[in-house]
Structure 1
């Protein structure tokens, strides 16, 4: 049995009783009709993520669904992109195996960036004080030359500055300054 303790004082606001049935998703625009969404999910799961689907065909396929993808972009197997039409990728970008671009809002990846294996770029969130847990989404921007290392996470509203690194396993919940390195212990 797990015991929990509740502390309520001036620094801890009262708990919010959630009523998820009332969730509306207000303000979230998927950006394309349901038929286009369904077509993308079919292509994503039947072709795009497969090991046998050639890497050179992934950028053109994303472009066919509205993504802006530069030249010499390498997208490895297992990469998932939620909405291609909300993705902008510069030239000479590498996206590693099993990376997940959960882009409910726009994701911009500048030139010469690397998003390593199993990294997560997550533009979605929820308002924690909302009784119905409404969305609190925000765009993500990776500036030129930045690197999101293996199993790192970049959360909604974050900009990773030019040449900055989000180290392996680190979580970027706020902007990462130009040239800095965010590790699991903080910015170094």
Structure 2
């Protein structure tokens, strides 16, 4: 879904950034999540996968999404097998967000796939997809910004703010997040 032209919709004057159809769909989605998933017991991941799929998300087998997660629009979400989205995470996917297999998005993390054109006097909304690789970890309350790619097995430390791509096996910390070391996985 593409945003409306800010010159015509005038979001700085209270106008919408998305079409009426998109906004109605998100109202239906929000009500469905609230009534069908928000207060479900933690082990009912299968039920929440079903609700997400009903609204267009691509959800891999065994993916776990907690009921307190906020997802802007399931149709812009792809979850790999056995990934986990922890309690209170915010998946702000105006643009597409892809999370790879066996990756973990910890409690309170925020993944954002949109920004605004700061050079545009109308403040046009820009969609910037986010891709998180396999076996990556976005730790508690970390922020992953628009257009960022998180490489396979990368770690974004707690409360880090990532605005640039993270290399595979890199461990990042701070605001802005910087590479602090390489991740070394032990043999199982």
TM-score, normalised with respect to structure 2: 0.81
Equivalence map 1:24-173=2 (5 Å):
25=17, 33-52=22-41, 54-173=44-163
Aligned residues: 167
In the aligned structure 2, how far is the partner of 1:38 from the partner of 1:88?
20
Match of 2:179 in 1: 187
CA RMSD, Structure 1 to Structure 2 (Å): 2.2
Higher strand share: 2
Alpha-carbon distance between aligned partners in 2 of 1:33 and 1:137, rounded to the nearest angstrom: 15
- SS state at 2:111 partner: strand
Distance 1:183 1:34, change over 3 A: closer
Question: Highest CA radius of gyration, 1 or 2?
Answer: 1
Query: What are the ranges of 5 or more consecutive residues in structure 2 without an aligned counterpart?
Result: 1-10, 181-188
Q: Which runs of 4+ in 1 moved over 6 A?
A: none
Query: How far apart are the structure 1 equivalents of 2:100 and 2:62?
Result: 13
Residue in 2 that maps onto 1:21: 13
Quote how far apart the aligned CAs of 1:20 are: 1.9
Whether contact under 8 Å (1:49, 1:80) holds in the other structure is: no
Partner secondary structure for residue 46 of structure 2: helix
TM-score scaled to structure 1, two decimals? 0.81
Query: Which consecutive residues of structure 1, in runs of 5 or more, have no partner in the other structure?
Result: 1-18
